[in-house]
Amino acid sequence: MKTLMIAALATITLPLSGTAADAAMDPINSPELTKNDLYATGPLPRTKCAEKRIRTGDKKQARAYIDAVVACLNKTWGAHLTKAGVDFGKMRVKHFNRIPKKYCGLDVDKDDSQAWYCEKTETLAVQVGKTWVEDPDDLWLFNYTAGMYGYHVQKLTGITDAYNDEPYDNKTELREQSRRVSLQTDCLGGAFLKSVWPLKGRTSRDYRELLSLVQGDTGSERWVGKTANVRAWIKQGFATGDPKSCNTWAASSSKVS
């Protein structure tokens, strides 16, 4: 099984340079990836989702905030995928003061705030540290949670299994496949945000601020997309509210760099 690089940090500012090899990849051939039934399910249903308050420095309230957003996600995606004939099961959340280093066979790092999706148990492991509660008034944590839920959607729709089975010739090709996974979750998170927008008390200014806060991953060793592409896929999902817009597997290499 391929290891997904799916933890994200609140403060990550990294170089964005790529390599020439990134531009010449073998095409993705699996129809479970490029023509998955998810893309034909239509826009997500319009629903309401209320944000809970988080006081600066309050980890308990941040955990309750994440739980409430996941409840909204389960409701929206549950209705959407069940209607489309997908065998739906809710994503669970488990909070840790410190996520075990080898949780679910993943290489959990030492950052104070992080989350990892375990496909075996369909559970999101969450570690809320001081980084996530230093300035919790923006939409970053809402969007982050919605994006992490994208890994659950991929699991339920067969995308995760197809990704694990997709062949690759070298590490560069594997990194691009990993970026396609990650950027798809960014887009699916944006589509969910659109389905509950406008959130009470939020304006377009909050959305623009969110985009300014989103950051990508490392340069030549990128396992998730660079900043420009992460923002582009979030915007694409938000523009339509439709998973059809999130087919990163059929996109050109430049759009998933």
Express as a percent the part of the chain with pLDDT over 70.
Answer: 89
pTM exceeds 0.85 for this model: yes
The CA distance from 124 to 64, in Å, is 14
pLDDT of residue 27: 82
217 falls in which pLDDT band (50, 70, 90)?
confident
pLDDT of residue 1: 58
Helix (H, G, I), strand (E, B) or coil at 66: helix
pLDDT of residue 3: 53
pLDDT of residue 15: 28
pLDDT of residue 26: 75
- Whether the pLDDT of residue 201 is over 50: the answer is yes
CA Rg, the chain, in Å?
17
pLDDT tens digits for 75-132?
Answer: 999 999 999 999 999 999 999 999 999 999 998 999 999 999 999 999 999 999 999 9
User: What residue spans define the domains of the chain?
Assistant: 20-256
pLDDT of residue 221: 81
Look at residues 185, 192, 161, 197 and name the one whose alpha carbon lies nearest to residue 246: 185
Q: Which residue has the higher pLDDT, 163 or 12?
A: 163
